[in-house]
Every structure is written in structure tokens, then in C-alpha cells.
Amino acid sequence: MNFESRKYVLIVAVMAISVIFLLRLFWIQVVDDKWKASAASMAERKITDYPARGFIYDRKGRLLVANTPVYDLMMVPREVKPFDTASFATLIGVPLDDLRQRMAEARRYSVYKPSVIEKQITATQFAAISVHLHHYPGFYGQSRTLRTYPPRVAAHLLGYLSEVDARKVAQDPYYKSGDVIGVGGLEQYYEEELRGRRGVRYVLVDVHNNIKGSFKDGIYDTLALEGNDLYTGIDLDMQRLGERLMRNKKGSIVALDPKTGEVLCLVSSPTYDPELLVGRVRNTNYGMLQRDSIKPLFDRALQAQYPPGSIFKIVQSLIALDEGVITTHTGFPCNKSLVGCHNHPNAGSIEQAIQFSCNPYFYQVFHRIVERDLDKKSRFRDAAIGLGEWETRVRSFGLGAKPNLDLPSLKGGNIPGPSYYDRKYGKERWAFSTIYSASIGQGEVLTVPIQMANLAAIFANKGWYYDPHVVRAVGEPDSVQSRYREKHVVAVAPHWFDNIQEGMRRVVHETGGTARRARIDSITVCGKTGTAENPHGEDHAVFICFAPMENPRIAMAVYVENSGGGGRWAAPIASLLMEQYLTDTIKRPQVMKDLLEMDLIAQEKFYVKKPKKPRRR
């Protein structure tokens, strides 16, 4: 081969080798991610900065929910060197088998990306661990925060945090495996406002796993954005007192500011310490609470549905007056052959009927509402017309539908109209005689405690209300939420409310009234007692009220399960809470002592259901 030929062979060989090198370099740098990840892992580490969730305050600026620092122990499998797993398991407080399983899962997930080995280690515990981590390459701590509840109250209202599940990660690109999310209460409803936005830092680490500084002066870093604070209408003192008074009792308390719709107090009892659902013990404690026979996780204020009982009589009164089927001076005898009642004088006016809570009176009132000869050919069609108009008016009070409240998992109760009874009995197969139990708030009529508190606000305001809401402002204390400033007006003329308010005043302050235990010195209280029938035990007591009558500042509903008439326990509980809120003191220590000592839950097991007797409603 001559020189000219060898020259071309050499050129081709050099070119071929160059092409091979270029292709390999392209493969490493562009196509194959593992080489890129390997190079990066030798020089830098990506650290997620979790933002602090927003705080939650009461109406006076006192903390209801704050944050406390914790650490997740992370592992990058590629960086891990052989080590004594038994000693390490003891150091971090994890069973050896669990540690080995978690490390194996981390390797299966990725040898280059960090995985969580142990979550939510307290700052004190991590301080003891961190001084030994230089012996364990590939392990490091990542800071984040957990919730803490300084007053340790309002568990149902506030909610808690839990790790996101796979479904949520798939649905929402914001969340990644291991993130936490609000569950229940304000934590869930205001999750997007509270969570903030996570940030990312790239740092350089040495062979001993120590951070040596930021990567490229932080040009690729993003700042974490803290969550927004929530400013609620809750009165912490009232919330504490409500939970104390309901201890060893089943039921709920909801109090509102009738002028704004702000929730002042929301108690569901039995309750639990919100700190039980924080940190590494959350799952264990949640299981314990879930198995508890008294159901402390069940939110009775928002989810328990009860017949309103005699509370419903004040709604019936307004509708009957506005439709003209009675006047304020209409009287009916207390005819117990129509429906059972307690002993009291005959009611000669609507005010007296409310004062005495006369069942036969309101039986007759509802009869006149439903059957008015609007269809003279069929009493069934006539009843459907009358009940249809009645249903429209009742629903204008916010009943029969879920409240527009800023909390999740609400129930809406039931207001039975013609279509409901058509489904139940068949079309033109029912009339007043079939449905008369609704006249006194029993039968198919169901309400939720939050609706009853709102009903009290409507009577305080003489016919209007704002949607009840817990949070008054987000981000800044003065940034009031405009969506809760829409005034709702009920479908009844406002001048009738004067007569009903007078009847409610008599319930508390006049002889023969059913809520004499709700009186407060120098404050005019308007209220109405009720009994929600309970087929499984002693009936439930309910009391709604507002005060002062002249310029209402608080409206409230109190339910006490398995306790009989509303005047016995529900009325004095409401009275003490109103006194504390309106005067900042309680001047009836004996009433307080009696309520705190009463254990109605313990009494339940000794109760034997007896045949119904006429009772005070």
C-alpha cells in the first residue's frame, strides 16, 4: 500500500473514532439520565424547603394553631456505605426489621433520589441523632413543621394533618409522596390558603455528608412561601367553657354573632385532645379514637341530624301568621286527644302558645296551613298545595339544605315537601292526618345543630341572616371575606317577629315558661326548648336562644343527647355561656358545679326505654 492510500486510511480511522466519541458523549450528556444524576449527586444535593403553614387565631388574636419544627431522616441509597444497621436502628428509635424494609424500599424507588426513612422526628430527638450522622454517609435531616395546639381545644373545628395518599398525588401535581394535607375542619377547607408554597435549595456536600455551601450561589434555588394566617370569629374563652360544660355528655353547642354570622363557639362532645393526632403517634392514636364506643371523632355540631322538636313551633307560628290562617290572638284548647302534651293553661294567643309550648295548639296551626280548601275536589291535592307553600317558606330559613359554612362534611337535614311524601306514600295517598307529626318538629323533619343556631340568629335579627362562617379574614386581620356579606331574608313579613320574640321571652322569664333555668340577672334572654325524640334511649334535649332581646349579640343552639326535656340541661348550659360571653364572668357557681359534675354518658347504660308519656316540650 503506497503512502497516499495509507493517508486516507488514517483519516478515515481518526474520523471514525471521533464520531464514536461524539456519539458516546451525546448519549451520556443528553440521552442517559443516570450519568447526569450521578455527576450531580457527587457535587450537589437537592433539598426541599417546606413552608410553614399559616397560623390560626381566635377573634381576640390568641393562637389556636401554631407550628413546631420537626425533621425527616432522608436517605440517598447511592451514597450509603456499609454500616451497623442495628446500632443505627437504636439511634433513630426504629425497629431493625422496619429499618431494613424502608431502606430496601428506598433502593427500589431510586438509588439517586432521596427517600424518607423516618418521619417527624422532634427537634430534641434529632439533635441527639444529628451528632452521629457523619458516621452514616447517605443519611441527612430535612426540616419541616408540625402543627401544635396551644389551647388544646376545638379539635373538630380545626381538623388535623395527615400524609397524602396515592390518589391525591395522582390528582394534584402540587403534592408528592410524603407530603401532608389538611383533613377535616379548617385545615381541610382552607388547605390551599394555609399550605403556602414549597421551595428548593441546591447545596454542596462533602464526603462526610456535611453541607459546604449553596450550589452556584443559589441561582437555581426557589424560596418557600409561607401559608396565609386565618383569623376566626371563635371566642377562645367561650370555646373552653363550652367543652368543659359538655364533658361527660354527648351533644353539641353552636354560638353565632347574629349581626355578622361569625361562629363564636363550636363544640362537639365527646371531643379529643388535638395534640393526639400530631407526629409519629398520630396513626396509633387515630385508631384508638376510631374504636372508642362514644365516637369522639364524630362531629355532632355539623353531622348529627335530629328532629327539631318544639323549636319548630316558632317557625310554624310565623308561617301561619303570614299566611293569615291565624292571628296573634288566636287561641286553641290544649286537647290531648289530638296529640300528647304536658299540663298547662289553655293558650289564648300565639305568645302564650310559645310560652307553654302547647302541642295541640300547633297541631291545629299546622292543620290550617296544610289543608285550606285550595283544591275543593280533593283533600289530597289540597294538602299537597298547602304543604308545597309551607316547604318553600321553611327552606327560606336555611333548613333542608347544607349550610354555606366554611367547614367540610356538613349534613343538611330534611324538610319534607309534597315530592317527599309522594315518594314515601304514593301520589294523592297522603294528607294532614298522615303527616301531622311535622307540626311539632317530629317525624320526617330533621335539622343539624348549626342550622338551629342560625335559626336563633334569624329570630334575633327579625327575619334575616348572613351565612354562618368560622373565618372572618385570610392573610390579614382586616381582609374580611366578602362572600359572607350577602344578606338572606326569609319569606315571612318582618313585623311578625315581634310577637314571636315576646313568646320566646316568656319561655325564659315568665311563670309556665319551659326554660326558666336559662335566666340571667339583668339580661333579657329569648329562648325555646325542644325535645328530639330518640327511639333508642332517653330523648335528646335542645335549646335555642339569643340575648339581649333589645340588641342581640349572641345566638345559640345547645343539644344534649339522652337528657330529656330541653329546659333541664341544655337551657342552663346555654345560659352560662351567654353570661360568660356578655359579662366576662359567671355569678352562679352552683349551677356551674352541677353541670360539671353531671355525667350523662355514665347514666346511659342504666337507662331502660319506657313507653312514652306526655312530656313538656
pLDDT tens by residue, 167-207? 888 888 888 877 889 999 999 999 999 998 887 777 776 65
Contacts for 200 with CB less than 8 Å, ≥ 6 apart: 46, 47, 48, 49, 220, 221, 222
Q: Are strands 230-232 and 540-547 parallel, antiparallel or unpaired?
A: unpaired
pLDDT, mean of residues 320-336: 95
pLDDT per position as a tens digit, 512-537:
888 999 999 999 999 999 988 877 77
In a domain, 376, yes or no: yes
Q: What pLDDT is recorded for position 123?
A: 85
Higher per-residue pLDDT: 502 or 480: 502
Report yes or no: 592 and 570 within 8 Å, Cβ to Cβ: no
| Neighbour tally for 244: CB within 10 Å | 14
Tally of domains within the chain: 2
Tell me the CATH number at 441. Answer: 3.40.710.10
Run of H or E including 312: helix 312-323
> In the beta sheet, which residues pair with residue 265?
255
Q: Please report whether residue 32 resides in a domain.
A: no
In a shared domain, residues 176 and 257: no
The residue among 190, 215, 232 that closes a domain is: 232
> What's the pLDDT at 261?
96
Please state, in angstroms and as integers, the Cα–Cα distance from residue 130 to each residue in 112, 142, 205, following that order: 22, 11, 15
Q: Do 387 and 531 belong together in one domain? A: yes
Average pLDDT of span 147-158:
95
Residue 7 within any structural domain of the chain:
no
The pLDDT of residue 212 is above 80: no
pLDDT given at position 4: 59
Give the span between the Cα atoms of 245 and 596, in whole angstroms. Answer: 6
**Looking at the domain assignment, is residue 290 inside a domain?**
yes
Residues 459, 553, single domain; the answer is yes
Quick one: which of 350, 320, 473, 461 has its CA closest to 398?
461
Average model confidence (pLDDT) across the chain: 88
Final residue in a domain of this structure, among 166, 201, 232:
232
Q: What is the CATH number of the domain that holds 71?
A: 3.90.1310.10
Q: How far apart are CA 438 and CA 445, in angstroms?
A: 6
Whether 193 and 205 have beta carbons less than 8 Å apart is answered as no
**Rounded Cα–Cα distance for residues 458 and 318 (Å):** 12
pLDDT at position 30 is: 56
Query: Percent of the chain at pLDDT above 90?
Result: 64
Q: Give the phi and the psi of residue 454 in degrees, each rounded to 5.
A: -65, -35
Instruction: Confirm whether 34 is domain-assigned.
Output: no
Query: So what's the pLDDT on residue 537?
Result: 75
182/262 same-domain check: no
Give the pLDDT of residue 214.
67
pLDDT digits (tens, 9 = 90+) for 122-143: 888 899 999 999 889 989 888 8
Residue at 403 is within a domain: yes
Is the preceding peptide bond at 552 cis, omega within 30 degrees of 0?
Answer: no
Number of H helices, E strands in the chain: 23, 18
> Does residue 41 register a pLDDT over 60?
no
What pLDDT was estimated at residue 98?
A: 93
Query: CA dist 174 to 114, 189, 198, 199, 488, Å?
Result: 18, 17, 9, 12, 37
pLDDT for res 52: 86
The region that residue 46 occupies, defined by phi over 0 for left and psi between -120 and 50 for alpha, beta otherwise, is: beta
- C-alpha 246: how far from chain center: 18
Give backbone dihedrals phi and psi of 198, rounded to 5 degrees, phi first. Answer: -70, 155
CA distances from 205 to 44, 130, 209, 376 (A): 6, 15, 6, 90
Three cell numbers written together for 475: 392573610
Confidence label for 605 from pLDDT (cuts 50, 70 and 90): low
What is the per-residue pLDDT across 567-590, written as a single tens digit (0 to 9) for each? Answer: 889 999 999 999 999 999 999 999
Query: Is the per-residue pLDDT at 42 higher than 50?
Result: no
Greater confidence (213 vs 162) lies with: 162
Segment (H or E) for 4: helix 3-26
Same-domain check for residues 317 and 446: yes
Same-domain check for residues 195 and 254: no
Per-residue model confidence (pLDDT) at position 22: 67
Kindly state whether residues 291 and 160 are assigned to the same domain: no
| Angstrom distances, CA of residue 248 to CA of 216, 272, 301 | 61, 12, 16
Using the 3D structure, point to which of 211, 232, 253 is the last residue of a domain.
232
Which pLDDT band holds residue 508 (cuts at 50, 70, 90)? very high
DSSP letters for 440-486: GT-TT-BB-HHHHHHHHHHHHHTSEEEPPBSEEEESSTT-B-GGG--
User: Would you say residue 429 has pLDDT above 80?
Assistant: yes
pLDDT of residue 617: 43
Both 170 and 253 in a single domain? no
- Range of the structural domain that residue 129 is part of: 45-232
Cα–Cα distance between 615 and 533 in angstroms, integer? 11
**CA distances (Å), origin 260, targets 189, 351, 464, 488, 494:** 20, 28, 11, 12, 19
pTM of the shown model: 0.84
Inside any domain, residue 56: yes
Residue 308 predicted with pLDDT over 80: yes
**Is the domain of 191 the same as that of 114?**
yes
> In this structure, are 334 and 355 located in the same domain?
yes
Q: Which DSSP letter does residue 401 get?
A: S
Has residue 16 got a pLDDT over 70? no
Residues 170 and 255 in one domain: no
Residue 284 burial (10 A CB sphere; 0-12, 13-18, 19+): exposed
3-state secondary structure of 606: coil
d(CA 466, CA 404): 10
- Within 13 Å and on the Cβ side, how many CA atoms surround 227? 24
pLDDT band, very low/low/confident/very high, at 35 (cuts 50, 70, 90): very low
Do residues 260 and 172 share a domain?
no
Contacts of 194 (CB under 8 A, 6+ apart): 53, 54, 182, 186, 187, 227, 228, 230
Q: Assess whether pLDDT exceeds 90 at residue 383.
A: yes
Mean pLDDT of all residues in 260-273: 97
Pairing mode of beta strands 230-232, 56-57: parallel
pLDDT of residue 556: 98
Grid look-up 345560659 returns: 575
Pairing, β 56-57 against β 63-75: antiparallel
Q: Examine residue 98 and state whether it is found in any structural domain, yes or no.
A: yes
Rounded-to-10 torsion of CA 245, 404, 302, 446: 110
